[in-house]
Amino acid sequence: MRLKATVSLMALIREKAKHQTSRSQWRSLLCMETSMDHIPEDIPDDLKKIRMENCHLTELPQGSFSLNSALEYLWLNFNEITLMNIRSLEGLANLTELRLQGNKLTSVPWTTFQDTPKLKILDLKLNRLDALPEHALKHLPSLTYLDLSFNQLTIISKEVFVNWPLYQSAKKAWGKEGLVSNVVLGLHDNPWLCDCRLKGFVEFVGAVGPPIILMNSYLMCSSPVSKVDKFFHEIQLKTCTKPMASVPDSNVTLPLGGNATLRCIVKARPVPTIQWMYILKMIRGFASTHTQIDEDTVTSQLVIPSVHLADRGIYTCMANNFIGNTSANIMLNIDSPNSSAPIPPPVPMISAEDNAHVDIHIAKQTVYGITLEWHAVTDNPAETWFTIHFGKLDTPKKEMIYIGPGINSYSVSDLLPVTKYEVCVTLKNYPPRKGQCILFVTGSDISELEQRERLIHIVVVVCAMVLAVPAGMYACTTEARFSCVDRCVDLCKKRRMHQEDLEGNERQHTFDSLQAASDEALCRDSNEKATKRRKSEDRCKGGSAAYLY
């Protein structure tokens, strides 16, 4: 039935293409409101214009129109396209106009435009784009019309346009000759976040002139609250600054059973993220609140009800933004007859529940960081809390963030480029064990960040699992000093021996939008795996990385 429908659709396409021949003897294809789940493979190869609108297309796979080398106009408006393959436009060297208005794209692989050097018109209006990488326009030297209006852009750098080869050449030509083709930009109706990170772009918009022409020069702020509904020309943005933390009282003494409120004041631009940390204690669901005092100042307070002797010690208020981080300490003393008693050891004996396995994965990559998710099966999930150990791989002392019961996700922001990181999730305040950590490296080439539909593998410290994360991060085996092959083979043998006993009860490692390696792939001959491992290590010597496309 499906084959018959496909044949009928192709017959219809050929018939339409046959009768849509203009006086200049070039043919076009028009498909409107035709339900198709993919782009047909045998579209006539002599078409110069293809228009498929309201056809429920969901993606542009590799080589979607690679046989249509004569194609000049491609209109795919008002479909449901969410994904463009990085090579979806290959073979379209003559394409001059691409319209993707009214789709569901959250990102665009900008390097795909290397295949379309003659592209003049690019319409991305009414999509869901939330980021524009610094070198997004690098491969669009002939563009004269770019519409990014009605998307979800919040912050972009002026370098996006300053580094645009067309902008540089047109500006010089305009100054010398006074006449070049205008470049039309549509940037209006985006939820602009008007803080210090948008300073350069706001200044660019205010100073822009021919040959750059804005469709609507009245760009408006959507946040923060102090700048909502204000036009760019009405605001003055300050330069971003590193956080500076201070505490009104660095030494607090309370009676046993009293309520403690620890306060921290942070000045920074943009608004920093603030976390409270305590290295030698068990978190009991303490509440912290943040209050915005003015544009540059935030106060944070940590409330500890009915303090115990175990609560005494040094509490750290840590603040960070994309420029840097800072911290301030508060010593909490408990006034009690038994206050001289030593602080309980931070790592108690491990019970069966506390030794439970923790599944950890990177669920999402944002413009500035990542979001972790984890899962652990325990007898008392309502009372189980976690510790996140996070920091640069070569830093022996990691930051520790305590997460209360009922929470299984955490976002890490302001990651530095070209940096190796390690993140671990443990139950309570136990130190990390193998299998509870992920190693990853942030990318250096901004063009890689834009290719978020590409997945590349990242090696978890437990060898029997291979996770994938969005592009912009990649695995490096340089620091992997233990043998994965033997452990993988042993684990797989044990799993096969107990397969019947575990049937129906085996935990499945499911990762949202990620790919997991199959047992079969992990259970190959150990000699073959050892050979591959040596090759991988050779590729990674010197800190390089192995990409998986």
DSSP per position, 286-310: -EEEEEEEETTEEEEEEEE-S--GG
Q: 543 near 478, Cβ under 8 Å? A: yes
pLDDT (0 to 100) of residue 137: 92
pLDDT (0 to 100) of residue 180: 55
pLDDT (0 to 100) of residue 25: 59
Which range, of 16-30, 154-168, 364-378, 433-447, averages the lowest pLDDT? 16-30
Confidence of residue 507 (pLDDT cuts 50, 70, 90): very low
- Number of DSSP helices (H) and strands (E) in the chain, helices first: 9, 30
pLDDT (0 to 100) of residue 219: 95
Higher pLDDT, 499 or 123: 123
Higher pLDDT, 435 or 265: 265
Confidence of residue 543 (pLDDT cuts 50, 70, 90): very low
Question: Is 68's pLDDT higher than 90?
Answer: yes
Count of CB atoms situated within 10 Å of the CB of 211:
19
Higher pLDDT, 506 or 387: 387
Question: Is 434's pLDDT higher than 60?
Answer: yes
Rg (alpha carbons) of the chain, rounded to whole number: 28
β-partners of residue 459 are 466
Percent of the chain with pLDDT over 70: 66
Which range, of 421-430, 465-474, 497-506, averages the lowest pLDDT? 465-474
Q: 288 near 298, Cβ under 8 Å? A: no
pLDDT (0 to 100) of residue 368: 64
Confidence of residue 34 (pLDDT cuts 50, 70, 90): confident
Confidence of residue 4 (pLDDT cuts 50, 70, 90): very low
Indicate whether this model's pTM tops 0.75.
no
Cis before 44 (ω within 30)? no
Question: Which two tokens mark 284?
Answer: 């009991």
Question: Is 274's pLDDT higher than 80?
Answer: yes
Summarize the confidence of residues 407-423 as an average pLDDT. Answer: 81
Question: Which two tokens mark 472?
Answer: 């912009």
Burial 527-544 (b: 16+ CB within 10 A, else e): eebeeebeebeeebeeee
> What are the tens digits of pLDDT across the range 161-196?
888 887 777 666 655 554 456 889 999 999 999 999
Summarize the confidence of residues 456-476 as an average pLDDT. Answer: 34
In terms of average pLDDT, the best of 111-115, 159-163, 293-297 is: 111-115
Which range, of 38-47, 166-175, 518-527, averages the lowest pLDDT? 518-527
Summarize the confidence of residues 206-228 as an average pLDDT. Answer: 89
Summarize the confidence of residues 19-38 as an average pLDDT. Answer: 73
pLDDT (0 to 100) of residue 220: 95
Confidence of residue 338 (pLDDT cuts 50, 70, 90): low
- The rounded distance, in Å, linking the Cα atoms of 416 and 406 is 30
Question: Is 120's pLDDT higher than 90?
Answer: yes
Which range, of 305-319, 340-354, 401-415, averages the lowest pLDDT? 340-354
Instruction: Give the closest residue to 361 by CA, choosing from 440, 418, 433, 430.
Output: 440
Confidence of residue 6 (pLDDT cuts 50, 70, 90): very low
Confidence of residue 278 (pLDDT cuts 50, 70, 90): confident
Percent of the chain with pLDDT over 90: 37
Average pLDDT across the chain, whole number: 74
Question: Is 528's pLDDT higher than 50?
Answer: no
Question: Is 511's pLDDT higher than 60?
Answer: no
Task: Give CA separation, 287 vs 255, 276, 403, in Å.
Answer: 20, 10, 11
Summarize the confidence of residues 42-46 as an average pLDDT. Answer: 88
* DSSP structural state of residue 13: H
Summarize the confidence of residues 361-378 as an average pLDDT. Answer: 77
pLDDT (0 to 100) of residue 200: 93
Which range, of 121-125, 201-205, 494-498, averages the lowest pLDDT? 494-498
> What are the tens digits of pLDDT across the range 297-312?
999 999 988 888 878 8
Count of CB atoms situated within 10 Å of the CB of 347:
11
Summarize the confidence of residues 356-382 as an average pLDDT. Answer: 75
Question: Is 118's pLDDT higher than 80?
Answer: yes
